[in-house]
Amino acid sequence: MVSFSKAGNGPNVLLLHGLFGMGSNLKSVSRALSPYFSVYNVDLPDHGKSSWLSERDISIYAETLIEWLDEYGLNNCHLVGHSLGGKIAMKMALSESLRFDSMLIVDIAPVTYANTQQHIFHAMEKLLEASCTSRKNAQIILGKHLDELEIIQFLSMSLRKNEEGIYKWILNYEGLKRDYPLLCLAPESGGAQYHRPTLFVRGERSNFISRENEFSISKLFPNSKISNVLGAGHWVHYDQSDQFNAIVIKFLSENSDFV
């Protein structure tokens, strides 16, 4: 089961969040787009209120979401994906290029990344061991292992009390930890390319889309451009929300047929 919210009317847009997140992370983007588009804001499998899978990689996630699109009869839509959601969007577009009218990828490239999240998984494990009964204590535990307040607040959104009053992760912590190396891999292309309009949005302060990555981008997505957002890190939609939303609306509007 894929949990989602829908807002607005118009051409379909599918929003895909990043690792450890949920659809609500992109609600400001959804609000900006909903006057012009039908916006589907999903929780990725293993995240938020969506079902947990027995195994996971970029292709499995992409197949799961394509099956969900089939279930709801969404035969054409635009893709907007951040980080892990961007990798999944790329795989979806490479698999069924005629289905997706355009694609906007936020601060990720179609390459394999180093396994850099072990400190976050460690902090998440320590929180489970602490059996916290208050959100404040949960954040204190996370703060002992993580330096960035932004990451602590971000992770805290995925905490809920269980029946015993203890805070647990609503995301599939064990599954994500086990298969995270597979999520670091580049999306498999099978020799395919996606020729429809594509925009990669890069945060100025982020190193997720390097100069070296640009060849991989142009090889798989020959009709692509890269836009830099000044003053933004990896969470471009948070750091420079107004600027980012304006870029998204302009790009989708230029590649949509409005009635």
List CB contacts of 178: < 8 A, sequence separation 6 or more: none
> Catalytic positions, please?
83, 174, 234
Count of residues making up the chain: 259
This prediction's pTM: 0.96
**Residues 6 or more apart from 175 whose CB is under 8 A from it?**
46, 52, 53, 54, 55, 56
Model confidence over 99-127: pLDDT tens digits?
A: 999 999 999 999 999 988 999 999 999 99
**Residue in the structure block whose two tokens are 């947990």:** 52
Range 4-113+185-254 classified under CATH 3.40.50.1820? yes
107 contacts 234 by C-beta, under 8 angstroms: yes
The pLDDT tens digits of the residues spanning 33-69 come to 999 999 999 999 999 999 999 999 999 999 999 999 9
Radius of gyration, alpha carbons of the chain: 18
Return the domain boundaries, the chain: 4-113+185-254, 118-180
In 3D space, the residue among 222, 231, 163 whose CA is nearest the CA of residue 193 turns out to be 222
